[in-house]
Amino acid sequence: MNATTQTLNAWSISSYGGPEQLQPVTRPMLTPAPTEVLIRIHASAVSRADGMMRAGTPRFARLFLGLRRPKHDLIGTCLSGEVIATGHAVSRFSVGDQVYGMSGLSFGANASHICLDEGDVVMHKPDALSHAEAAVMGDGPCTSLNFLQNVAEVRPGEKVLVLGAAGSLGTAAVQIAAAMGAEVTGTCSARNAGLVASLGASHVIDYATEDFARSGQRYDVIYDTLGISSFGKAKPVLTRTGRYVCPVLSFGLLFSVLRTGLLGQRKARFSATGMLKPEDQRALHRQLIEMVEADKLAPVIDRTYPFEQLVEAHRYMETGHKRGNVVVA
């Protein structure tokens, strides 16, 4: 096919706000630069991070996103599709390859097509994953592997508590921590208890009826996927060298990370996974693909919306009660 004869369909965001700010747009088709691949997108994720970028929250994030309005007017960060054209210097990919990847802070993943540099986070899609499943690999799976392996440094046999075990990060974390040989406990509502147990949690805590801090258990790692707790609350139920890790940055978390970096054996830690170097993110994805191929990891897809219904997909994602991941396809 001749990619230059088509148009690009995408979703634009010209000012920060709610899902209604999203507008469908048509643009001229992209042409890959020498080291880029042009991908026809089959599925793309609608993640909590996408919602925060759309809303421009937290406000300090606007230092990166654009102070008054989004610097990049297209939205979407994680995608899966097929390579339909390559720049003349591309060596890792060929036309027809099935791939998934991240557009990161260049955005534009909720679209019909995208150009990505082959040196960025672009991976060959394993056959075991559908495009919908592959599209979310850069969200929950990659973030949770980074947090459990590199930030919390989970070791086999350790007790890991996942707060928010039914979300995108949580459903991946339960599977990854179990694959790492940890004993996993997850918190979720009663309706998601079966799901969380089926993913590999040995114990499930219903957050509506039980407070993890009063369960009488101690944990080597508490992974607070939603930022719903704090180091201060977690500390009494952490083991002597326990780690509280959280992907949702707040002033309270920042203070705890700085203070425990200097004092005490129990630590609070944070990381921005999407800001890691592309080669480090690719290394995480290679590990994730091995887990997928060994049947130890399968991304959980809650809902798949038609591409035209991105606004509805954002509204559902923002309820705070999705199970795993939401995609548009």
Closest separation in Å from C-beta 88 to ligand NAP: 34
CA distance 300 to 129: 11
Task: Please tell me whether residue 207 binds ligand NAP under the rule CB under 6 A.
Answer: yes
Q: How far is the CB of 246 from ligand NAP (least distance, A)?
A: 8
Which one, of 33, 121, 106, lies nearest residue 72 by Cα? 106
Q: Which is nearer to ligand NAP, 42 or 48 (CB)?
A: 48
End-to-end CA distance of the chain, in Å? Answer: 21
Nearest residue (CB) to ligand NAP, 11 versus 207: 207
> Is residue 254 close enough to count as binding ligand NAP by CB under 6 A?
no
Which residues are within 8 A (CB) of 55 and not within 5 positions of it... i.e. 6 or more apart? 16, 17, 18
d(CA 123, CA 133): 13
- Under the binding rule (CB under 6 A), the answer on residue 323 touching ligand NAP is yes
Question: Considering the rule CB under 6 A, would residue 213 count as an interface residue with ligand NAP?
Answer: no
Q: Is 273 in the site for ligand NAP (CB under 6 A)?
A: yes
| DSSP bridge partners of 81 | 41, 99
> Is residue 209 exposed (0-12), middle (13-18) or buried (19+ Cβ within 10 Å)?
exposed
The answer to whether 21 contacts ligand NAP (rule: CB under 6 A) is: no
> Which residue minimizes CB distance to ligand NAP?
167
* Residue 197 contacts ligand NAP per CB under 6 A: no
Residues 6+ apart with CB under 8 A from 201: 162, 165, 174, 178, 184, 185, 186
Q: Does 189 bind ligand NAP (CB under 6 A)?
A: yes
How many Cα atoms within 13 Å fall on the side-chain side of residue 300?
Answer: 22
Choose one: 88-96, 104-112, 153-161, 181-189; the region binding ligand NAP (CB under 6 A).
181-189
The mark string for 76-105 relative to ligand NAP (x by CB under 6 A, - otherwise) is ------------------------------
Minimum distance of ligand NAP from residue 64's CB (angstroms): 13
CA distance 70 to 82: 28
Exposed (0-12), middle (13-18) or buried (19+): which is 198, by Cβ within 10 Å? exposed
Assess 228 for contact with ligand NAP (CB under 6 A). yes
Which tokens is 198 given? 């089926």
As given in the structure block, the two tokens for residue 320 are 């705070």
Binding to ligand NAP by CB under 6 A, coded x per residue (else -) over 135-174, reads: ----xx--x-------------------xx-xxxxx----
CB of 165 to ligand NAP, least distance (A): 7
Q: How far is the CB of 276 from ligand NAP (least distance, A)?
A: 9
Q: Determine the size of the site formed for ligand NAP (CB under 6 A).
A: 33
Burial class, 9, CB count within 10 angstroms (exposed 0-12 / middle 13-18 / buried 19+): middle
Mark residues 23-52: x for contact with ligand NAP by CB under 6 A, - for none: ------------------------xxx--x
Element counts in the chain: helices (H) and strands (E): 10, 15
- Which residues sit at the interface with ligand NAP, rule CB under 6 A? 47-49, 52, 139-140, 143, 163-164, 166-170, 187-189, 191-192, 207, 225-226, 228, 247-248, 271-274, 320-323
